[in-house]
């Protein structure tokens, strides 16, 4: 253990020295981060408090906690999937691992170090989000101050840790299986399993069915909680965590303690399994990844001329042609890039397919407005995530090889514009899909008036422009050419700052449209005329501000390309 | 032709390059020497357009690198001290990429690539992705890429790092031939025998200042002041 803590000490020292140096730029960035993080934390708190205050009296404590359970499920899956992809880079691709393997350090210690590194690096923002949301919720249900500490330590840390443990276990199994059946088959299999799991979860626990059931049954809180508890899902970590919260809010401390103990034990057991598997298979699977690389990088494969190839003619001007081809090949040949995109797109498709047939029977203005805004915010959040994951790292991923472009007779506006265009397409396509499919049920209840559909599509385009500009610009400003891992880049300090700014933007967008949308649904249900200026006026102002933000971010990014390399 | 006029580069309070002025005419092979951290790479990066000078001017064939970067760079090829390539591209794809950046016609690029692949003897592995290349293989591809568009000015930083003796010989002969055909070569090196063998003129830099600038004849005369060895001149000038 002495070696373990020795390495850990130097890792912490290295982190502190690079994060808190005495440069003025770092201080300014630090203050900026603090302001944005503070703003984000405050927004998350206010939003959580407002939602709790709005929903609990309307749907009851029991249904509210089942809705919380669904949100926790999404969080669990996000952390889990994120950890699978990040772990591949930290456990198998990091040069540090190769270096440590040449030293007298046990495989198990290296594994635990990289696992913790990975967990802390990728879950910090989630912790902040969970804590502030908990604070907002706790203010409403009047928690004591120590309750937050207990919940964070014994419920939410084990919850996130369990998700990360599961992610690493899945990853190591994948590497082992892939050595026998091939990488692509394993990835396809994993995608099917995830889609099936998500689809099954929401089939068993549909929020709309639950809301409708709650309004019909009119049960007491305890009975309602039990009625909507699905036995098959009772032992899922999200169900256990929401059960802890429900029992605490209902004053049943012992029940709450028992549920927390189950979660804690599950996490401890899972960590023990991870340690065992890590000790036994980490080094072996690490070696296997080299075999994959060797198998996929052959002279024969490189000699084949394909239709889309550097050797084939193109109608594009020479510089643009090679830039496009370079972008394509770098993306296609980096598994962590296309794999992550494919998974995200599949989830979007599943979501779009399931939302399009939702029957919105409740003709209640508040419910429809809230439903619409949740879907609108989801679409925005999806765009934020895609832009952060694929656009923010775009400049940094040029890496040290960027000298080729910077020393060539190339106007840097060309690669910059190309990255913007590609990022825009990548963010816009799923955003449009979600916008169209999530608006169809609302168009249906609006007697086929397509106003909301137009609004959704226009928003998707505009939001995509703004988010891509923000992420490309700030990604260039915070460029780190030494980091090759796109996921680490997307979870760096600069990326988190950008993401929080994107969320603030999204929050502003949602807030601005609350009143116009309420008026729209009111006019719809009371069969009154709707004044279009109610939606056009705030929309125009906001989009003008978005345009200014986009231009500002793009200019900052472009100027950053002129810095010393 | 390369002209450096009172070129200065500061990083905060630290002056890395301090008022360097020199000219490398067409067809001259110029050797740039100095101890580690003297300012060689900083000077070269300013010439390649990767660093902006704090003061002074750098002209490539009459075009200012800062004011007219596109024109200046169109004459130049730069070979960095660390041969960073795009890991996921093959060596051949990298050569096509560079040719495209210099706006070459596809047929012309293809012809030049066949030529450099043969010349640098890299055909056996050039179609593998560069992620599996050794340092020397990367260096050979980088130097080959610098020659694809037939530059008028070659800026080359430590060209022999990682090269095996055979590849080093090919590179030495190629550079010599290029200078003979009218290309201005600005080469930073730690290899004293190479500078002595190839360079028409040499400059020594120390603490960002040019402490010696002269022809091979000047250098030979200077050597005689000591024990006749280039190494002694280097040690004395960079003391």
A330: chain B residues, CB-CB within 8 Å: 86, 88-89
Residue B160 Cα, gap to closest chain A Cα (Å) = 19
The answer to whether A297 contacts B52, with C-beta atoms less than 8 Å apart, is no
Residues recorded for chain B? 239
* CA closest to B93 among chain A residues: A310
Q: Say if residue A521's pLDDT is above 90.
A: no
Q: Are residues B206 and B100 part of one domain?
A: no
Output the average pLDDT for chain A: 86
Q: Are residues B181 and B143 part of one domain?
A: no
User: Which of B150, B171, B190 delimits the end of a domain?
Assistant: B150
Mean pLDDT, to the nearest integer, of A434-456? 85
**Which tops the pLDDT comparison, B25 or B227?**
B25
Mean pLDDT, to the nearest integer, of A134-143? 90
- Tally of CA atoms within 13 A in the half-sphere of B206 that contains its CB: 10
- Which tokens in the block code for residue A421? 């265009």
Give pLDDT tens digits for A294-343.
Answer: 777 888 888 898 889 999 999 999 999 999 999 999 999 988 788 888 87
Residues recorded for chain A? 565
Residue B130 binned pLDDT confidence (cut-offs 50, 70, 90): very high
Give pLDDT tens digits for B61-83.
Answer: 999 999 999 999 999 999 999 99
Residue of B12, B37, B51, B52 whose CA lies nearest to A23 = B12
Q: Say if residue A211's pLDDT is above 70.
A: no
* Domain at B230, CATH number: 3.40.50.300
Residues 6 or more apart whose CB falls under 8 angstroms from that of A535 comprise A451, A455, A513, A516, A517, A520
Instruction: Report helix, strand or coil for A345.
Output: helix
Nearest to B127 among A303, A400, A564 (CB): A303
Phi (first) and psi of residue B81, to 5 degrees: -70, -30
Q: Say if residue A223's pLDDT is above 70.
A: no
Mean pLDDT, to the nearest integer, of A6-19? 83
**Cα separation of A185 and A315, whole Å?**
36
**A391: Cα separation from own chain's centroid:** 14
Q: Among A72-86, A255-269, B94-108, B177-191, which stretch is predicted with the lowest mean pLDDT?
A: A72-86
Residue A221 binned pLDDT confidence (cut-offs 50, 70, 90): low
- Which tokens in the block code for residue A520? 């729209």
Nearest to A329 among B88, B99, B104 (CB): B88
Instruction: Report helix, strand or coil for B2.
Output: strand
B72: chain A residues, CB-CB within 8 Å: 409
Phi (first) and psi of residue B18, to 5 degrees: -125, 90
The answer to whether A330 contacts B88, with C-beta atoms less than 8 Å apart, is yes
**Which tops the pLDDT comparison, A180 or A161?**
A161
Share of chain A above pLDDT 70, in %: 94
Nearest to A298 among B74, B93, B128 (CB): B128
B159–A contact, CB cutoff 8 A: no
User: Which of B114, B133, B150 delimits the end of a domain?
Assistant: B150
Residue A452 binned pLDDT confidence (cut-offs 50, 70, 90): confident
Q: Are residues B162 and B71 part of one domain?
A: yes
The answer to whether A408 contacts B98, with C-beta atoms less than 8 Å apart, is yes
Phi (first) and psi of residue B2, to 5 degrees: -115, 135
Q: Say if residue A413's pLDDT is above 90.
A: yes
Q: Are residues B101 and B66 part of one domain?
A: no
What was the pLDDT predicted at B89?
A: 96
- Which tokens in the block code for residue A425? 């397409």
A524 CB burial (10 A radius; 0-12, 13-18, 19+): buried
In chain B, the number of structural domains is 2
Q: Say if residue A361's pLDDT is above 70.
A: no
Give pLDDT tens digits for A528-554.
Answer: 888 888 888 888 888 899 999 999 999
User: Which of B95, B118, B150 delimits the end of a domain?
Assistant: B150
Residues 200-239 of B with CB under 8 A from A: none
Q: Are residues B167 and B138 part of one domain?
A: no
* CA closest to B52 among chain A residues: A564
Residue A290 Cα, gap to closest chain B Cα (Å) = 10
What was the pLDDT predicted at A362?
A: 66
A399: chain B residues, CB-CB within 8 Å: 84, 86
The answer to whether B84 contacts A318, with C-beta atoms less than 8 Å apart, is no
Residue A448 binned pLDDT confidence (cut-offs 50, 70, 90): low
The answer to whether A322 contacts B131, with C-beta atoms less than 8 Å apart, is no
**Cα separation of B129 and B138, whole Å?**
11
B43–A contact, CB cutoff 8 A: no
Residues 6 or more apart whose CB falls under 8 angstroms from that of A237 comprise A72, A76, A159, A162, A163, A263, A266
| DSSP letter assigned to residue A1 | -
Q: Are residues B171 and B110 part of one domain?
A: no
Give pLDDT tens digits for A224-255.
Answer: 676 667 777 788 999 999 999 998 888 888 98
Residue ranges per domain, chain A? 1-294, 316-565
Residues 6 or more apart whose CB falls under 8 angstroms from that of A319 comprise A410, A414, B100, B101, B103
**Which tops the pLDDT comparison, A326 or A2?**
A326
The answer to whether A407 contacts B78, with C-beta atoms less than 8 Å apart, is yes
Mean pLDDT, to the nearest integer, of A211-220? 63
Q: Does the structure's ipTM exceed the value 0.85?
A: yes
Dihedral, CA atoms, A460, A462, A465, A468, nearest 10 degrees? -50
Q: Are residues B56 and B165 part of one domain?
A: yes
Q: Are residues B109 and B58 part of one domain?
A: no
**Cα separation of B84 and B204, whole Å?**
27
- Tally of CA atoms within 13 A in the half-sphere of A472 that contains its CB: 27
Residues 6 or more apart whose CB falls under 8 angstroms from that of A470 comprise A387, A498, A501, A502, A505, A549, A550, A553
Residue A219 binned pLDDT confidence (cut-offs 50, 70, 90): low
B48: chain A residues, CB-CB within 8 Å: 403, 406-407
Q: Which domain holds residue B177?
A: 1-75+152-239
Distances (CA, A) of A355 to A437, A449, A499: 7, 19, 26
Mean pLDDT, to the nearest integer, of A65-90? 85
Q: Are residues B156 and B59 part of one domain?
A: yes
Dihedral, CA atoms, B60, B64, B66, B67, nearest 10 degrees? -140
């Amino acid at each position: 253990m002495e070696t373990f803590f020795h390495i850990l000490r130097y890792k912490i020292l290295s982190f502190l020295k690079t994060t808190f140096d005495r440069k003025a730029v770092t201080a300014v960035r630090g203050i900026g981060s603090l302001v944005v993080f503070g703003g984000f934390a405050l927004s998350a708190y206010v939003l959580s408090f407002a939602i709790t205050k709005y929903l609990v009296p309307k749907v009851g404590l029991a249904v509210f906690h089942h809705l919380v359970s669904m949100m926790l499920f999404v969080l669990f899956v996000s952390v889990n999937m994120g950890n699978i992809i990040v772990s591949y880079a930290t456990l198998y691709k990091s040069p540090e691992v190769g270096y440590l393997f040449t030293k007298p350090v046990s495989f198990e210690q290296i594994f635990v170090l990289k696992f913790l590194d990975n967990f802390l690096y990728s879950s910090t923002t989630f912790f902040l989000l969970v804590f502030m949301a908990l604070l907002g919720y706790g203010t409403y249900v009047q928690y004591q101050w120590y309750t937050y500490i207990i919940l964070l330590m014994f419920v939410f840390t084990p919850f996130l840790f369990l998700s990360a443990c599961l992610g690493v276990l899945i990853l190591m199994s994948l590497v082992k299986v892939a050595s026998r059946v091939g990488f692509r088959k394993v990835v396809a299999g994993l995608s099917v399993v995830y889609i099936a799991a998500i689809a099954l979860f929401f089939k068993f626990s549909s929020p709309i069915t639950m809301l409708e059931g709650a309004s019909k049954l009119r049960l007491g809180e305890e009975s309602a909680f039990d009625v909507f508890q699905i036995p098959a899902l009772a032992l899922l970590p999200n169900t256990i965590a929401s059960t802890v919260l429900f029992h605490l809010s209902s004053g049943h401390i012992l029940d709450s303690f028992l549920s927390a103990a189950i979660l804690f034990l599950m996490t401890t057991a899972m960590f023990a399994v991870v340690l065992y598997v890590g000790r036994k298979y980490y080094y072996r699977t690490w070696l296997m990844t080299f075999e994959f690389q060797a198998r996929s990088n052959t002279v024969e494969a490189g000699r084949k001329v394909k239709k889309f190839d550097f050797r084939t003619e193109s109608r594009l001007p020479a510089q643009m042609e090679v830039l496009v081809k370079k972008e394509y090949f770098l993306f296609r040949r980096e598994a962590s890039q296309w794999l992550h995109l494919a998974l995200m797109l599949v989830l979007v498709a599943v979501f779009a397919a399931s939302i399009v047939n939702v029957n919105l029977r409740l003709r209640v203005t508040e419910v429809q407005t809230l439903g619409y805004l949740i879907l609108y915010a989801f679409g925005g959040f999806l765009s934020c995530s895609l832009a952060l994951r694929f656009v923010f790292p775009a400049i940094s991923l040029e890496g040290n090889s960027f000298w080729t472009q910077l020393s060539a007779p190339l106007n840097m506006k060309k690669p910059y514009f190309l990255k913007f265009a590609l990022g825009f397409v990548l963010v816009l396509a799923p955003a449009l899909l979600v916008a169209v499919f999530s608006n169809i049920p609302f168009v249906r209840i609006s007697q086929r008036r397509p106003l909301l559909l137009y609004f959704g599509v226009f928003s998707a385009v505009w939001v995509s422009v703004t988010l891509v500009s923000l992420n490309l610009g700030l990604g260039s400003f915070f460029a780190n050419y030494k980091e090759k891992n796109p996921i680490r880049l997307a979870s760096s300090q600069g990326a988190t700052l950008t993401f929080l700014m994107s969320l603030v933007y999204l929050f502003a967008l949602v807030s601005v449209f609350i009143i116009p949308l309420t008026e729209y649904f009111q006019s719809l249900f009371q069969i009154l005329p709707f004044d279009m200026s109610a939606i056009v006026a705030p929309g125009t102002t906001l989009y003008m501000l978005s345009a200014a933000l986009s231009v500002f971010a793009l200019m900052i990014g472009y100027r950053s390309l002129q810095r010393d390399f | 032709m390369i002209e450096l006029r009172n070129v200065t580069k500061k990083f905060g309070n630290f002056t890395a390059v301090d008022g360097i002025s020199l000219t490398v005419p067409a067809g001259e092979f110029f050797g740039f020497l100095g101890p580690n951290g003297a300012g060689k790479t900083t000077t070269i990066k300013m010439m390649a357009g990767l660093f902006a000078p704090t003061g002074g001017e750098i002209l490539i064939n009459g075009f200012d690198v800062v004011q007219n970067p596109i024109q200046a760079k169109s004459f130049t090829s730069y070979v960095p001290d660390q041969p960073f390539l795009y890991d996921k591209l093959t060596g051949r794809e990298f050569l096509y990429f560079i040719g495209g950046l210099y706006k070459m016609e596809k047929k012309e690029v293809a012809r030049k690539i066949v030529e450099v692949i043969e010349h640098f003897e890299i055909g056996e592995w050039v179609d593998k992705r560069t992620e599996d290349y050794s340092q020397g293989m990367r260096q050979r591809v980088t130097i080959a890429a610098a020659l694809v568009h037939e530059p008028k000015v070659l800026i080359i930083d430590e060209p022999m790092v990682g090269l095996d003796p055979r590849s080093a010989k090919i590179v030495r002969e190629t550079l010599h031939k290029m200078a003979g055909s009218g290309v201005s070569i600005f080469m930073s090196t730690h290899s004293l025998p190479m500078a002595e063998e190839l360079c028409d003129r040499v400059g020594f830099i120390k603490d960002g200042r040019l402490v010696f600038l002269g022809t091979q004849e000047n250098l030979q005369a200077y050597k005689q002041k000591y024990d006749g060895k280039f190494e002694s001149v280097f040690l004395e000038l960079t003391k």
